[in-house]
């Protein structure tokens, strides 16, 4: 399972927009802050972030905390960085218990590097998301999307 993590911000157009979509050419007028979002950061994790987690129940719970809570069907107000706190707590618990194993990475560090390197995918994901939270969480209108 691969992961795409995106950071979005509320986007307010300078003027009212008319958006056409679908084969029936339906239209929608867009004019308020909550109608449009602009992607400002995107990151693809090529590793399975939960592949090294030994317990199936832990893997399932982590997926729910990340994928279900940050699904595009949820409104942006429910997908703020503060909603990641439960994921961080659970990831910390699993890592501290030694239940997140180190694995061989699927990608090389540089183009000519043929030697594989080891990584703890859950720890790498947690550290990257903490960095993103410290970079974006205090900005207004920021939401998160995980696919």
pLDDT in tens, 83-102: 999 999 999 999 999 999 99
Higher pLDDT, 141 or 30: 141
C-alpha distance from residue 113 to each of 45, 116, 117, 136 (Å): 19, 8, 10, 33
| Residue 24, pLDDT score | 75
How far, rounded to the nearest angstrom, does the alpha carbon of residue 55 sit from its chain's CA centroid? 22
Indicate the SS3 state at residue 123: helix
Closest CA to 132 of 6, 13, 45: 6
Residue 9 · residue 36 · CB < 8 Å: no
pLDDT of residue 139 exceeding 90: yes
DSSP conformation class of 106: S
- State the pTM of this model: 0.84
């Amino acid at each position: 399972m691969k992961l795409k993590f995106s950071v979005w911000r509320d986007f307010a157009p300078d003027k009212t927009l008319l958006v056409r979509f679908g084969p029936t050419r339906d239209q929608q007028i867009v004019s308020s802050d909550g109608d449009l979002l602009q992607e400002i950061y995107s990151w693809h994790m090529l590793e399975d972030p939960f592949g090294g987690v030994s317990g199936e129940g832990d893997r399932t719970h982590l997926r729910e905390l990340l994928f279900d809570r940050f699904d595009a069907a949820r409104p942006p107000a429910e997908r703020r960085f503060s909603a990641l706190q439960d994921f961080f707590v659970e990831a910390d618990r699993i890592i501290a218990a030694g239940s997140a194993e180190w694995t061989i990475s699927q990608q090389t560090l540089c183009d000519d590097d043929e030697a594989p390197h080891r990584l703890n995918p859950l720890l790498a994901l947690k550290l990257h998301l903490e960095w993103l939270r410290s970079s974006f969480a205090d900005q207004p209108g920021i939401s998160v999307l995980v696919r």
